Amino acid sequence: MKESVEVKSPATLAEEKRRAREQWGQDPCGAEHGREHEFGTREFFDTVERHRYEEYAPWMARVMGFNDFAGARLLEIGCGMGSDLLQFARGGAICTGIDLTPRSVETSRHRFRLYGERADFLISDGESLPFKDESFDVVYSNGVLHHTPDTAGAVREVHRVLRPGGTAKVMLYHKNSLAYWGEIILRHGLVGGDFFRGRTPQQIMNRRVEYSEHDAEPLVKVYTRKEARRLFEMFDDVNTEVEQMTRAELRFLSPLVPDKLFTRLGSSIGWNVIVTAKK
């Protein structure tokens, strides 16, 4: 399956990856939540972890299966600061993490040493993995492959390095979400006037979606559940589920929405579509 995007020159693709390295090198994902502590300290990492799994995404341990892969060889594409990979390591997985950004690789190595866990780390591009065919039992990637220019090519690489019967667990941004239609289209595109300034939804996402103090504007893409399943069509079994919505997204309506309804909304119009695919 080929993505329905414009054909880009090698120079354009290289620029998109440069912007991604700049973004995550200067503003590691999640680091802003630990900024009251010195970067790289145990207090810093503990604060980042609490926010991620207790406040921002309490569903993550269950859906991603941090404790489900004991003894499995697990690769994370785009390990960032090592938050999720550390959870898999604690659950008994034999972990390898790659990232396009040197700072992320060094931060993850430091974090694992700090907490007494083991993993292999290297700098690498998810579109061209430096591993032999059928090297891993599990390939995991959370919020990364929608930033790479050739997402479909990266998914083919995931399939290649998985052993038969292996599992891919990948999170992509969800197009049919409140975040996309409420923030990107309505708030920024229409009310904020970005459409009238000639910006496309793609350009608005590049400018608005990821936290940044440095205006790196990394590439950002979104997928419907159907589009996500098509990306993984070479797998034998593909399932999708939707999660991740905060009450802040509901704004003034939040007090009117009971918890059960809020949970149901998150599983239909949340910002994350999680693909679980079996090879």
pLDDT digits (tens, 9 = 90+) for 47-88: 999 999 999 999 999 999 999 999 999 999 999 999 999 999
The pLDDT assigned to 28 comes to 57
pLDDT digits (tens, 9 = 90+) for 134-145: 999 999 999 999
Domains annotated for the chain, with CATH where assigned, are: 10-173+211-240+270-278 (3.40.50.150)
Q: In this structure, what token pair is assigned to residue 136? A: 């891993």
Cα→Cα distances 41→44, 48, 53, 56, 277, Å: 5, 11, 19, 21, 36
Using CB atoms within 10 A of its CB, is residue 71 exposed (0-12), middle (13-18) or buried (19+)? exposed
Of 53, 58, 87, 83, the residue nearest 70 (C-alpha): 87
Helices (H), the chain: 10-26, 42-50, 60-64, 83-90, 102-115, 151-161, 178, 201-208, 225-231, 259-269
Q: Per residue in 222-234, is it b (16+ CB within 10 Å) or e — as a string?
A: bbebebbbbbbee
Q: In this structure, what token pair is assigned to residue 100? A: 């396009």
Location of structure tokens 């060094």:
106
Residue 5: Cβ within 10 Å count: 12
Mapped onto helix, strand or coil, the DSSP state of residue 172 is: strand
Cα 35–171–209 angle (5° rounding)? 50
The pLDDT assigned to 213 comes to 58
Residue 43: Cβ within 10 Å count: 12
pLDDT digits (tens, 9 = 90+) for 146-180: 999 999 999 999 999 999 999 999 999 999 999 99
* pLDDT at 5 > cutoff 50: no
